[in-house]
Amino acid sequence: MPTKQSFMKFTYEILPERRLNVLRFSGSVSLKDVLAGTRKLWADERYDPHFNGIVDLQGVTTQATMDDVRALVSFLQEDGTSRGRWAAIFTEPKPTALAMLFKVACPAFLTMEVVSTWEAACHYLRVELPRQKV
């Protein structure tokens, strides 16, 4: 019986002049992928926890569950270093629904908005950041 494989691509950019972190995920994204990407960003010597951030998850798919949402909340509560505001861009129904549940689960320690476009993300964070330049 074939095993379903997870194909995920993660990139990030730190834009100090805009005080902004930009993360991009594509493909099939699991909790393990999100944790690995987050750790990679935090390990970068240029990372500043006071910067705001945009997480681009347009078109991602996932097999994540509510248990994964709880695990991500716990991870960020224990190890989280971000003090900035975040906008997460989603376009697929299941990841969007999980993101909304995630947002509700962690209001005390993370300021986040779930949006569906780059324009909305930039508006929420009050930054001018054309999509093609990221």
**Within a domain: residue 102?**
yes
The CATH number of the domain holding residue 121 is 3.30.750.24
**Within a domain: residue 118?**
yes
The mean pLDDT value for 115-120 works out to: 96
- Give the pLDDT confidence score for residue 78 in this predicted structure: 81
Indicate yes or no: pTM above 0.85: yes
Number of structural domains in the chain:
1
CA distance 109 to 86: 12
pLDDT, one tens digit per residue, over 3-33 is 444 456 999 999 999 999 999 999 999 999 9
**Within a domain: residue 2?**
no
- Give the pLDDT confidence score for residue 133 in this predicted structure: 44
- Give the pLDDT confidence score for residue 1 in this predicted structure: 42
**Within a domain: residue 40?**
yes
Confidence of residue 80 (pLDDT cuts 50, 70, 90): low
**Within a domain: residue 126?**
yes
Q: Which of 26, 23, 60, 51 is nearest to 38 (CA)?
A: 23
Domain range holding 98? 8-133
Q: Residue with structure tokens 């509560």?
A: 77
